[in-house]
Copies of this chain bind each other. A is one copy, B any other.
Amino acid sequence: MNQAEADELRDWSRFEAKSLNEECGLFGVWGHPDAARLTYFGLHALQHRGQEGAGILVNNNGKLNRHRGLGLVTEVFRDEKDLEELTGSSAIGHVRYATAGSANINNIQPFHFEFHDGALGLAHNGNLTNAQSLRCELEKSGAIFSSNSDTEILMHLIRRSHHPEFMGRVKEALNTVKGGFAYLIMTENSIVAALDPNGFRPLSIGKMSNGALVVASETCAFDVVGATWIQDVQPGEIIEINDDGIHVDQFTDSTNMTICSMEYIYFARPDSNIAGVNVHTARKRSGKILAQEAQIDADIVIGVPNSSLSAASGYAEASGLPYEMGLIKNQYVARTFIQPTQELREQGVRMKLSAVRGVVEGKRVIMVDDSIVRGTTSRRIVKLLKDAGAAEVHVAIASPALKYPCFYGIDIQDRDELIAASHTTNEIKTIIGADSLTYLSQAGLIEAIGHDKLCLSYFDGEYPTPLYDYEKDYLESLAKNGVK
């Protein structure tokens, strides 16, 4: 395989994979006799937030047990036998996102620690901006890490704190780590939930009819387990959940809510509510506003399945154009190690996405998508539609152009991966082969979501916190290639 073929294959794979990855999903339950099973269903509802691995840790009268593994929740927990060892009335669980190649069972959470003076469990969603320097400092004073996950750092900080109370030690540790983080800690008699001072990642608390308390990265998990939303964990909060109920405290007063806008745009499930806003509704509104801003003359509106269907239906409604199913995604998505050869790809073989010739043939199509990362996927979908006979393909993106990396938990930390960091909209239009390309304005996005307590640094480079360990590299990358 020569270099060109290798590039082609990489492009192909990216076309077939999601190009942005969330860091994880959290779920916890306190006070239910079937805690592990509930957590299983909760994690299944959060599966879209991470597919590399999953784990559940239970607290059985102060004794912690864990089962974890690589793969989807339904692969890690295959049958009743996998739940048998997980008796207990409280549990925390975790789904971890997939990165190429590095799947390692040691990194799968929740972590489980057994000390001579008690046991602890720990699960984490987010990304620390000072992990590298903290880890180095800790190692210099004798700390040994058992994974290459940042998550362990918090436990080392807790164990080295000299504060006389456990909650005091946790607060000290939370004030030392920086960046985006939502933590669940299982102690022998409580679950502790904590959120970074900016509240980058969502975390909510719900209640079941039998009084059990649940905590989850997204409210869609509440619906699945039959729980009702009570409250969101607020930036800087540390909440203890135990037999006495919910105890809210702050580990810092210096907070500033800037929730990740990409949760609304792409990551979260449409049936989740984030900061009180339903995700489907925000997306549909973004499609409507996009229609008003774009004013494209066309015959039909189609969405790229599945994340852009809400925005597309909003676009169709606002524009008065028919909303059609012009692209079909094979619902039997599965990891496969069998790929089309170069020759088959040239002959048109593809696995996951098909254009519906009977729908798009001869039509001027508005193709609504949520975002463009590298441009590769968009180029291929435009080609699919044109090969299926579309007369024109107008690409309408239901968010502003992505120009800056994320350091708070989204898996793009390199500006080279973002096509809009180095190309104008017109250049991108040409590269992806579209007849026109329109982005939603930043004001339009804020209007669609309905509030502005958002991290929008993806679009404008205004990071709400210092970048710590990332600062130097980031400034160098900015210097290297300016933003268009």
Instruction: List A residues at the B interface (Cβ < 8 Å).
Output: 34, 37-38, 40-41, 44-45, 47-48, 51, 72-75, 77-80, 82-83, 105, 113-117, 135-136, 139, 141-146, 148, 152, 155-156, 159-160, 208-210, 220, 223-227, 269-271, 273, 278-281, 284, 306, 309-310, 313, 316-317, 322-325, 328, 330-338, 340-341, 343-344, 347-351, 354-359, 388
Contact = CB atoms under 8 A, between A and B. Distances in A.
Given A313-B324, A325-B310, A78 B44 contact: no
The complex is assembled from copies of this chain, and their number is: 4
B269 A328 contact: yes
Contacts of A37: 338, 340-341, 344
Closest 4 CB pairs of A and B: A226-B348, A278-B358, A146-B146, A79-B337
Contacts of A156: 142, 144
A270 B356 contact: yes
Contacts of A355: 223, 271
Contact of A142 (B73, B159, B350): B159
A334 B47 CA distance: 12
A391 to B, nearest CB: 17
B359 A328 contact: no
Given A80-B338, A210-B347, A224-B354, A47 B359 contact: no
Contacts of A160: 142
Nearest to A347: B226
Contact of A74 (B34, B324, B334): B334
Contacts of A343: 34
11 contacts: A48-B331, A113-B144, A114-B145, A142-B156, A209-B347, A271-B325, A271-B354, A278-B358, A281-B359, A310-B325, A316-B323
Nearest to A212: B347
A221 B279 CA distance: 34
B347 A208 contact: yes
Contact of A306 (B146, B284, B331, B349): B331
B331 A313 contact: no
Contacts of A208: 347
A47 B285 CA distance: 35
Contacts of A306: 331
Contacts of A322: 317
Contacts of A44: 330, 332, 351
A419 B14 CA distance: 46
Nearest to A161: B142
Nearest to A83: B338
B354 A223 contact: yes
Contacts of A77: 336, 338
A301 to B, nearest CB: 10
B144 A328 contact: no
Contacts of A48: 331-332
A447 B33 CA distance: 55
B155 A139 contact: no
Contacts of A115: 139, 144-145
Contact of A359 (B51, B278, B336): B278
Nearest to A278: B358
A223 B343 CA distance: 16
B226 A349 contact: yes
A338 B116 contact: no
Contacts of A41: 340, 344, 349-351
Contacts of A335: 74
A148 B116 CA distance: 11
A310 B278 CA distance: 24
